[in-house]
Amino acid sequence: MCEYSSQEGMPNDWHLVHLGSRAVGGAGLVMTEATAVEPSGRISPDDTGIYNDAQAEAWARIAAFIESQGAVPGIQLAHAGRKASMSSPWKGNELVPPESGGWSPVYSAGDEAFADGYPVPQALDMEGIERVKRRFKEAAERSLQAGFRMVEIHGAHGYLLHQFYSPLSNKRTDVYGGSFENRTRLIREVVQEVRSVWPDSYPVFLRISSSDWVDGGWAVEDSISLAKMVGRLGVDLIDCSSGGNVASAKIPIGPGYQVPFAEAIRKDAGIPTGAVGLITEPHQADQILSEGKADLIILARELLRDPYWPRRAAKELGAEIQAPNQYLRAW
């Protein structure tokens, strides 16, 4: 994942992005995605993790290379919850039983499966909740030791933290269920655990699903309230995605369809936001920024389709970016 931004007085350029006292740019921010904080938190057996020292050592080489190229290395910490132990999409996105490399149990706020074909989860008890919080903290510590300078907590797309804050998946009656305050307790406590070991000079992002896209579910107004709360706890930017917690949700997918969430949260919660989702064209991205709808453009799938998107964007927008040394003769 890479992030693009522009600032007043510096249009159409790659540069440092400042969030309070924390800088997160350079030539850009390069971020891993869905790096599991414990084995049972992987989406699939193929997923990466940072729950042991050997993984941290492997990531350290990647983080060092990213930084050597003038970019900032970031890592996204995740726990899949009830969406765990599934095969990779190119392998059919099917349940992987323990005898085939999967695992059991998987965990959630309750005991309801995400959809047919997914594992039936075990509701986390208090000991399990404390373990998850500790795993996020330990993963942040390893990430720092590995050389990452930015961390994002993945609380979106129907994964564990989203399963807790959405009323559609959280039917608990204890202090982690029921009211908005209780349902958001786990994600707020995870933020506090991560921030307790993450330097003040380095930013913490939080990815959320801004809406469940289902009546009676999590809505943008809830996201605004949550953003205000976590902003006071040390979150520097809200990465505004949506959906993923209800298999039957009808999502009106189209170019920039999630940008209004980033705009609303930025305006009403007073916190920087990142826009993501079908942002594919340089002028489209630049307009979102210039109109103040978001502070960052977050690119993931578009960079898989077009790894040279930053070069194309620079050319179309009249900016200059530095070529890798190996490419200078052809630049």
Question: Which is nearest to 139 in space by CA: 32, 64, 289?
Answer: 32
Listed residue (321, 261, 263) closest to 292, CA to CA: 263
**Vertex 50: Cα angle to 97 and 195 (nearest 5):** 125
Tokens of 306: 């077009």
As a three-state string, the secondary structure of 209-221 is ECCCCCCCCCCHH
DSSP string, 55-72: HHHHHHHHHHHHHHTT-E
The CA distance from 256 to 281, in Å, is 10
- For residues 83-99, one letter each, b for 16 or more C-beta atoms within 10 angstroms of the residue's C-beta and e for the rest, the string is bbbbbeeeeeeebbeee
Q: Residue holding tokens 């993963």?
A: 139
Determine the Cα–Cα distance for residues 192 and 240; give it in Å rounded to an integer: 20
* Residues 252, 257: Cα–Cα separation, whole Å: 7
Q: Who's near 197: CB < 8 A, 6+ residues apart?
A: 137, 140, 141, 144
The active-site residue out of 4, 107, 159, 165 is 159
Let me know if 159 is a catalytic residue: yes
Residue closest to 85 by CA, chosen among 139, 41, 34 = 41
Per-residue burial over 147-162, b if 16 or more Cβ lie within 10 Å, else e, is bbbbbbbbbbbbbbbb
Amino acid at 51: Y
Task: Please tell me the distance from the alpha carbon of residue 321 to that of residue 26, in angstroms, as a whole number.
Answer: 11
Q: Which residues are catalytic?
A: 159
